[in-house]
């Protein structure tokens, strides 16, 4: 008989010290004044100052959406992780709240949020401790509670889930949800260098029981699966995750790490997940990772880190680095593909409408934050150049019907392309922010790519057909 006993490593109260919280907020207020605004995004969440990576704890609590993020306020590179915090009533306009989690002996790695039976917002996150001995770190699951959605107190009995069943130190990014009488959580891990996702359940968020290995690489699916998420969608189950170490295959899996999904069937009786499709990427751009979802009023909402590990972040020299994508909603199509669309609330940011007929060779100067709706003929080539009105970086977005692929090319030798089957009448939706492009060629082909243009967007039609562009200036919806 194997007995699993969860022994908390430190039972002393780790209530976050009020003084250090206030000092941090005072530091942020001061330091953000020195941020250079040239690449600053106006409707995407980024840190007021410093570094961010994964979105965390995406949730809805007492009438407001909450979004947290992996945060290091003291430098524009990764450091001991905090949880930054923003909140919104409509997912389009965001307000900064005080930093929710401050690292103490544990760094506060990624995780999720649920509303418990006492109407508290509960954060479940990975506490990462560095050690002096091989494997040099341990990862366990921690809780923090809030009665107001603003101030969080770490649970005294942390950690609530000490270690993976096989003892792997890689044991992180809990995504919790409620089903029936239990809380469930999926956690990213690995077994002998094969990425896997573990499933647990609990009656009270405190006592956890290991249920199953929900999915595991058979050798070609990476060495570690980060940031898992698991949910029902349109009658199937979706295992969303971010595997590390997938090898590129043709046009696919070109990023250092991928974010994608496996569609399958699942039973809450056997806790077995049976894939019916292979792993697929969910976004084909350069900068998309660690996506996470939440369900509110029957709508499955997704947000991701608009970034990637080991990339250069040109904004780092300006005092900040990293951002979130816009929020997208998910559905499944009849080919078992995830369809990802901008949420309708994004339309609330629309201001003046401009209609442009862009003839071959013509350019048009737009602002820094615009939504473009592009139409033309898919039977001919389409090519649009996006560049800064004052220079900086640029990207070409193109479609070649003879090849059947949409391509985004920043002229840096690292192009991204994917097959696209256009409907007879098509409309590309393109969200431009100061230094980013999100291209929706329909919900099945989406590219999220940072492009560091300067001084607003100049868009040129490099194809021989005339393209019609409707454009809306977008309101600034996040202020730091
Ligand atoms: C994913 C990730 C997570 C981890 C966090 C640390 O990008 O590596 O697995 O919890 O970032 O910041």
Inform me whether the pLDDT recorded for 69 exceeds 90: yes
Q: Just list the catalytic residues.
A: 54
ipTM value: 0.99
Q: Which residue out of 290, 303, 321, 322 has the highest number of ligand 1 atoms within 8 Å of its CB and is therefore the one to mutate? A: 290
How many Å apart are CA 345 and CA 354, to the nearest integer? 20
Contacts 24+ apart (CB under 8 A), 411-418: 414/254, 414/286, 416/251, 416/254, 416/284, 416/285, 416/286, 416/447, 416/449, 417/251, 417/284, 418/251, 418/284, 418/445, 418/447
18-344 falls under which CATH superfamily? Answer: Glycosyl hydrolase domain; family 43 (2.115.10.20)
pLDDT tens per residue, range 385-403: 999 999 999 999 999 999 9
CA of 55 to the centre of ligand 1 (A): 10
The CATH number corresponding to 350-473 among 3.40.250.10, 3.30.365.10, 3.40.50.2020, 2.60.120.560 equals: 2.60.120.560
> Whole-prediction pTM value?
0.95
Nearest residue to 85 (alpha-carbon basis) of 115, 106, 63, 65 = 65
Q: pLDDT by residue (tens digit) across 186-213? A: 999 999 999 999 999 999 999 999 999 9
Instruction: Give the residue whose CA is nearest to atom 9 of ligand 1.
Output: 226
Assess whether the C-beta atom of 76 lies below 6 angstroms from ligand 1. no
DSSP states along 48-78: SSEEEEEEEEEEEETTEEEEEEEEETTSSS-
Does ligand 1 lie within 6 Å of residue 110's CB atom?
Answer: yes
Domain layout of the chain by residue ranges: 18-344, 350-473
Does pLDDT of 441 surpass 70?
Answer: yes
Give every CB contact of residue 42 below 8 A, 6+ residues apart in sequence: 368, 369, 433, 434, 474, 476, 477, 478
Kindly indicate the confidence band of residue 424, based on its pLDDT and cuts at 50, 70 and 90: confident
Verify whether ligand 1 is closer than 6 Å to residue 54 (CB atom).
yes
How far is ligand 1, taken at its centre, from the CA of residue 393, in Å? 28
pLDDT tens track for 174-184: 999 999 999 99
pLDDT interval class at 68 (50, 70, 90): very high
| CB 238 less than 6 A from any atom of ligand 1 | no
Q: Quick one: which atom of ligand 1 is closest to the CA of 126?
A: 10
Q: CA dihedral in degrees (155, 158, 163, 164; nearest 10)?
A: -10
* pLDDT value for 17: 74
Amino acid 18: pLDDT: 78
Average pLDDT, the chain: 95
């Amino acid at each position: 008989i194997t007995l699993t006993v969860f022994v908390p490593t430190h039972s002393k109260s780790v209530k976050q010290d009020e003084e250090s919280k206030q000092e941090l907020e005072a530091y942020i207020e001061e330091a953000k004044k020195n941020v250079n605004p040239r690449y600053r995004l106006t409707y995407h969440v980024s840190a007021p100052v410093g570094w961010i990576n994964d979105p965390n704890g995406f949730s809805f609590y007492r009438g407001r959406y909450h979004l947290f993020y992996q945060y290091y306020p003291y430098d524009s590179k990764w450091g001991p992780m905090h949880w930054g915090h923003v909140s919104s009533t409509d997912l389009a306009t965001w307000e900064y709240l005080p930093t929710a989690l401050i690292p103490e002996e544990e760094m506060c790695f990624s995780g999720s949020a649920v509303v418990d039976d006492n109407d508290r917002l509960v954060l479940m996150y990975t506490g990462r401790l560095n050690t002096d001995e091989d494997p040099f770190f341990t990862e366990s699951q921690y809780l923090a509670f809030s009665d107001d959605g603003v101030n969080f107190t770490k649970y005294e009995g942390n950690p609530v889930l000490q270690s993976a069943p096989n003892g792997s130190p890689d044991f992180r990014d809990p995504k919790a949800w409620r089903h029936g009488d239990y809380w469930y959580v999926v956690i990213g891990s690995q077994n002998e260098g094969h990425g896997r996702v573990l499933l647990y359940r609990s009656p009270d968020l405190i006592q956890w029981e290991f249920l199953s290995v929900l999915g595991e690489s058979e050798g070609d699916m990476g060495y570690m699966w980060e940031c898992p998420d698991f949910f029902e969608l349109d009658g199937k189950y979706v295992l969303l995750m971010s595997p590390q170490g997938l090898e590129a295959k043709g046009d696919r899996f070109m990023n250092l790490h991928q974010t994608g999904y496996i569609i399958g069937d699942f039973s809450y009786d056997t806790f077995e997940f049976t894939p019916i499709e292979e792993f697929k990427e969910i976004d084909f751009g350069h900068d998309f990772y660690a996506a996470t979802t939440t369900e509110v009023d029957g709508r499955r909402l997704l947000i991701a880190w608009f970034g990637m590990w080991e990339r250069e972040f040109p904004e780092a020299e300006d005092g900040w680095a990293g951002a979130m994508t816009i929020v997208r909603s998910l559905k499944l199509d009849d080919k078992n593909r995830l369809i990802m669309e901008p949420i309708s609330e994004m339309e609330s940011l629309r201001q003046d409408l401009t209609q442009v007929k862009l003839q071959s060779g013509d350019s048009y100067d737009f602002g820094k934050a615009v939504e473009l709706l592009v139409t033309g003929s898919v039977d001919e080539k389409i090519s649009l150049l996006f560049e800064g009105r004052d220079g900086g970086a640029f990207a070409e977005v193109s479609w070649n019907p003879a090849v059947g692929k949409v391509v985004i090319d920043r002229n840096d030798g690292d192009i991204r392309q994917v097959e696209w089957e256009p409907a007879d009448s098509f409309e590309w939706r393109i969200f431009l922010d100061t230094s980013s492009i999100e291209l929706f060629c329909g919900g099945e082909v989406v590219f999220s790519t940072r492009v560091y243009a300067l001084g607003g967007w100049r868009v040129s039609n490099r194809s021989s057909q005339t393209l019609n562009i409707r454009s809306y200036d977008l309101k600034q919806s996040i202020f730091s």
